[in-house]
Chain A
Amino acid sequence: MKILVPVKRTIDYNVKVKVKADSSAVDLTNAKMAINPFCEIAVEEAVRLKEKGVADEVVVVSIGSKSCQEQIRTALALGADRGIQVETEDALESLQIAKLLAKVVEEESPEMVILGKQSIDSDNNQTGQMLAALTGMPQGTFASEVEVNDGKVKVTREIDGGLQTVELTLPAVITTDLRLNEPRYASLPNIMKAKRKPLDVKPAADFGVELESHVKVLKVTPPPERQGGIKVADVDELVEKLKNEAKVIS
């Protein structure tokens, strides 16, 4: 079967972000960018399913400007077979992304779409669920285990109280949680090979999707700073402060 893996170019997770002085957005000038960590887990899972003989093709898609080809190449170096860049200069909202992905799903007819559960920039946690809704597919979100069997997939999901397992009829959408797997590192030969793998560029306009913006960002500000605290000398002083100064224990 064919697996489609949407990936997103985001700021590297170790970077401490700065808000622009005009409060319009976060300043990404010269920031180190990378593949969103949850997307990397999605690629790894798809590649593992291929190695197990469950999947025969892994297609990676990213939506954005030319720079997101870097992240598609990263995914190809991790073992995906070919890439699609849906080219757009605009920063899109989850619903618009999901609509474009629904078109890619229509063209490619994958049996499974694996996405990250959220991107670490917008922290929305929406796209996979929206894609499932638009394509009429069932969804297995926050997956920590995926088991494909006979036209169905069993997904163990991380829920607030523990774990839940659901069974979905393929084609289905799965979103990855951190504990699904540990992504491999791309080896140098694989990075070289990835350069020769096919990567199609398709303008977003060609999909005939109305990309109307629903949400306006009025401002972006830094979070309130915490006052620097004090260091206590020992446990006695800590207990005394918590009781009498902070009054949070009795």
Chain B
Amino acid sequence: MSILVYAEHDTENLKPETAKVVKAATQMGDDVHLLVAGENCQSIAEQAAKLAGVAKVLVADNAAYGHQLAENTADLLVEMAGGYTHIVAGATTTGKNFMPRVAALLDVAQISDIIGVESDDTFIRPIYAGNAIATVQTADKVKVVTVRAASFDAVDESGSADIEAVDVVKTSERSSFVTESLTESERPELTAADIVISGGRGMQNGENFSLLEGIADKLGAAIGASRAAVDAGFVANDMQVGQTGKIVAPQLYIAVGISGAIQHLAGMKDSKVIVAINKDEEAPIFQVADYGLVADLFEALPELESKL
């Protein structure tokens, strides 16, 4: 069982998800190779080589992979697929973008967003916004799998894998990168944070999200949002937690002014401890919250901040 894992990074840092995806991969087989594709990504390769359980790091360093365009990345993975029983990536927007393309080019199915590994061909994944859990078995020779990072622990950094260059350049003429606008934040990444505090429609406007900031700073938390808050334009959409946004499973999730629609719960109900602050005591969020506080958030938040 040789497993090829796609390492996700932003050219400067290996994304924390990768260590969790490697954990999932080690449950599928022993011989785990990490592929680092990008432009000027040697330092990423060095970080990747430290992950425990990684036998080899392969580096495809070329401008063609600079922005992880699906066309180029998929072609690279397909070229490298020979000899591997599994191709694995995180179920991030990057992995979700190119992995089904890899699967189709290899004429195999893809198993999306797994939360558990039963055996080398059997995986567990949520369906219907997490309201049902399916155990699926694939008959394909090459298993193409994306992993929900929030469901696996990170491997530690005790490894020292060999680094090898890969000399494969794939460039599609029909797709090119134009521009990128990334949200700047000093706070931890939403999907990796131990504590997340999220605001919903009850926040009323974007300025009021500053009420969450003081608390987030004191707790070292990331700030999230419900779809209602994003759609109303309160905050940027990359902060959205839910079926169609990010899936988080922090130690502590604080939902403020969020009713708890099915789609939002899909993104956070595996959090260890859930706190709900809402003035509507009938809000569905209270059915999943470990600690519920029925209160006006405009009074409760400043008080909470002062007491932390």
Contacts and interface: CB of A to CB of B under 8 A. Distances in A.
Interface of A: 11, 13-14, 16-17, 19, 26, 93-95, 98, 117-118, 120-134, 137-139, 141-142, 144, 154, 157-169, 172, 177-179, 214-223, 226-232, 234-236, 238-239, 241-242, 246, 248-249
B192 to A, nearest CB: 11
B291 A230 contact: yes
Contact of A215 (B111, B130, B176): B111
Given A126-B103, A230-B291, A232-B292, A164 B177 contact: yes
Nearest to B262: A16
Contacts of A242: 252, 273, 275, 291
Contacts of A133: 74, 100-105
A242 B271 CA distance: 14
A162 B108 contact: no
A237 B194 CA distance: 22
Interface of B: 10, 67, 69-71, 74, 92-94, 96-105, 107-113, 122, 126-140, 172-183, 191, 195, 219, 227, 230-231, 236-238, 243-244, 246, 251-252, 262-263, 269, 272-275, 281, 286-295, 300, 303-304, 307-308
A248 B273 contact: yes
Given A133-B74, A179-B237, A215-B138, A238 B101 contact: no
A166 B92 contact: no
Contacts of B174: 137-138, 168-169, 172
B92 A160 contact: yes
Contacts of A231: 281, 286, 291-294
Contact of A165 (B71, B104, B178, B227): B178
B45 to A, nearest CB: 21
Contacts of B137: 215-216, 218
Given A222-B133, A223-B133, A229 B101 contact: no
Nearest to A140: B175
B293 A249 contact: no
Nearest to B277: A238
A11 B127 CA distance: 12
B215 to A, nearest CB: 10
30 contacts: A17-B132, A93-B109, A94-B109, A124-B112, A126-B110, A126-B112, A129-B101, A144-B237, A160-B246, A162-B181, A162-B182, A164-B179, A164-B180, A165-B180, A166-B178, A169-B174, A215-B111, A215-B139, A216-B139, A223-B132, A223-B133, A228-B287, A231-B293, A231-B294, A234-B295, A235-B295, A236-B307, A238-B291, A241-B291, A248-B272
Contacts of A16: 131, 262
Contacts of A160: 92-94, 191, 238, 246
A142 B102 CA distance: 18
Contacts of B263: 13
Classify the secondary structure of A's interface with B. mixed
Contacts, number: 254
B130 A223 contact: yes
Contacts of A169: 173-175
A221 to B, nearest CB: 5
A238 B131 contact: no
A11 B308 CA distance: 44
Pairs of residues from A and B, 5 with the lowest C-beta to C-beta distance, nearest first: A129-B100, A214-B109, A133-B104, A130-B104, A126-B100
A241 B291 CA distance: 8
A122 B127 contact: yes
A56 B180 CA distance: 31
Given A95-B109, A214-B109, A11 B175 contact: no
Nearest to A98: B104
Given A124-B110, A239-B307, A166 B177 contact: yes
B135 A219 contact: yes
**Highest count of chain A CB atoms <10 Å: which of B69, B97, B236:** B97
B303 A123 contact: no
Contacts of B102: 133
B110 to A, nearest CB: 5
Contacts of A177: 244
Contacts of A166: 67, 69, 175-178
Given A133-B104, A248-B251, A214 B138 contact: yes
B291 A26 contact: no
A164 B67 contact: yes
B304 A235 contact: yes
Contacts of A218: 122, 135-137
A232 B293 contact: yes
